Amino acid sequence: MPDSVSLGDQLEVSAIGFGGMALTPVYGGAVDDEESLATLHHAVDVGVTFIDTANIYGSGDNERLIARLLADRRDEVTLATKFGIQANPAERTQGRISPRGDAAYVRQCIDESLQRLQTDVVDLYYLHRRDPNVPIEETVGAMAELVTSGKVRHLGLSEVSAAELRAAHAVHPIAALQSEWSIWTRDIEAVIVPAAAELGVGIVPFSPLGRGFLAGTVRSAADIGEKDFRRTMPRFADTALDANQAVVDAVIGVANEVGATPAQVALAWLRQRADELGAASVPIPGTRRAARVDENLASLSVTLSPEQIAGLGNAGNAVTGARYADMSSIGSSRE
C-alpha cells in the first residue's frame, strides 16, 4: 500500500492521518497530556505524519499540545488546522455551534493559531463550518490571501455542499474537503464525493470508525468519552442503538473472515470505497493510545472482496438516527 496520497493542489500526505480532537476532553474523560504527546511522537515515528487539529479543540489547548510535537519535528509533519467555529460554550453544550467566516475573522484566527502552534506556516488550513451569513467566496478569498502572505500553504473546507465546494474552488484551489464518512455515514457519496473527484479535491474523512459505534464493543470507550458522546447523539438513543448494533456486528463478521480487527475493516472499507468512486482519500482516525495508531496504520494491508465491500455498505445503509442532535450547522449543506 502507498506510504502517501496526493490530495488536491499537489498536497502530499501520509496515507493515514491522525485526528487530534481525541487528545482533548471534547467528549469527556480525563486526558493525560504526556501520554497524548507520546502518542503523537509515536504516530510520526511510524509514518502517520498528517496531523489534524482545530482552534476550537480544547479552546486552543489541542494546538498548544501539538506545538510541543512540532518544536522538534516540524519538518516531519504535515500540519492541518481549522477555524470558523466561535468558542461559545453554552451553545456547544447544547450540541450547537456558532460559525463565523468574515474576512477579519479569517485573519484573526490564523494569527492566533500560528501563535499557539509556535510555527510560521500551516500546511492545510480549513474552514471548519461555512458561515451562512457570509458568501463562501468572501471567506475563501480571505483564506487565499493567507497563501499569498505565506502563512498557509493549502486551503481546505469542512462539511460543505458540492455547490459550495465548486464556488470556493473557483476562487482558489481547494486541496481537501473534510467531512464525516464511514460505513455508518455515507451521505456524501451521492453528490459530494463525485464533485470532489471531478475537481481534483481530496477527501479527508473524519470519524472514519463511525464516531462511537465501535466504542464499548471493539474499541475502548475511554478512547472517546462514551457517556458525554452519547448524550448528544440521536444514533445512540436506546432504540436506535439496538438497531445500529447490527452494523457493528456486520463489521465484526467481516473482521473474523479476513483476520483483521473491526477498526481495520472499517478503514479498509473506506479506502476501497473511495477508490471505487475515484476519489483520493485519507482518513484521520483519532486515539489517545499508541497501539491504536499501529492498528489503524495496519489497515493499509487489509483488502476486502467486492462482495464484502458491498455487504458492509448495505449494512451501513440501515443506520438510523441523525448524527448530531442539532444539524443546523450542516442542514442543506448535505446532498
Per-residue pLDDT, 1: 58
Range of the domain at 319: 4-333
Q: How far apart are CA 119 and CA 125, in angstroms?
A: 13
Please tell me the predicted confidence (pLDDT) of residue 98. 87
- Give 81's strand partners: 125
Q: Measured between alpha carbons, how far is 287 from 21 in angstroms, rounded to an integer? A: 9
What pLDDT sits at residue 30? 75
Q: Which residues are catalytic?
A: 57
CATH no. for residue 73?
A: 3.20.20.100
- Residue 215's pLDDT is 47
Name 52's bridge partners.
19, 80
Residues 23-71 pLDDT 10s: 987 655 678 899 999 999 999 999 999 999 999 998 899 999 999 999 9
264 membership: H or E segment, kind and range: helix 262-276
Q: How many CB atoms lie within 10 A of CB 168?
A: 27
pLDDT tens-digit readout, 250-298: 999 999 999 999 999 999 999 999 999 999 999 999 999 999 999 999 9
All three cell numbers of 98, joined, read: 456558532
Q: How many domains does the chain have?
A: 1
237-259 pLDDT tens trace: 556 666 677 888 899 999 999 99
